[in-house]
Amino acid sequence: MFPGMALKAIGAQVPRMTREALKRRGAAFATLIAEWANIVGPEFASSTLPEKISAPPPPPKGTNLPRPAGTLTLRVGSGAAMELQHLAPQLIDKINAFVGYKAVERLRFVQGPLPGQGAPPAPPRPPLTKEQNARLDALVETIPDENLRQSVRRLGDGMLRGRRRIP
C-alpha cells in the first residue's frame, strides 16, 4: 500500500464514475441501475433489468405542479413478465420509496435476453449404440498407453455423438 493513501470500497466510487454516462437519463435512473438488486430483491433482480425511464414533459416553469412520474421500461427474462405484471403496484411503490419521490408511475415490460444469459444449453446428445461402441473399442484397442487410449476413446465418442464420421 502507498503511504498516505486509504483503501476505498469500489461500490462507493460507482456513482461518481457513472454520473456522466447516466446524466442524460436522470438521477433516478442512475440510482435504479446502481441499486436495482437492493430495490426489488435478488429474485427479481436476476430476471429483470431497468432499460429507461420515459417521463412526460415537465410542468411549465413558475407553476407549483408536481414533477410528473414516468414509465420505467424493464427488460425481463422469459417467464417473468406475467408474475411481474401482477406485482407491478408493489414494485412501483418499492422503486418510488427507494428514490424518495414519485419517479415511476407505470412499468413497461420488454421480454428479451438479459446480460449474462447466453443461449440455452444444447440438448443432450443420444448415447452411442452397441455397434458404435464396439467399433470405437476396436479402433482404440491397439493404443498401448492407457491415458492416450482413453482420450482417443472420448474424442471418438464425441465425434460419433456429434454425427461426424470416423474414417
Cell of 35: 441499486
Instruction: Tell me which residue of 141, 134, 142, 122 sits closest to 160, measured CA to CA.
Output: 134
Helix (H) or strand (E) holding 105, with range, is strand 104-111
| 3-class state of residue 20 by DSSP | helix
Which pTM does this prediction carry?
A: 0.53
Nearest 10 degrees: Cα torsion 113, 116, 120, 125: 170
| 3-class state of residue 113 by DSSP | coil
Cell of 15: 456513482
- All structural domains of the chain, each given as residue ranges with its CATH number in brackets, are 12-58+67-111 (3.30.300), 121-167 (no CATH)
pLDDT in tens, the chain (167 residues): 456 556 666 656 666 665 555 555 556 667 777 788 888 888 888 888 888 888 777 777 878 777 778 888 999 887 778 888 898 999 999 988 888 888 889 999 988 877 766 556 667 778 889 999 999 999 999 999 999 999 889 888 888 877 555 55
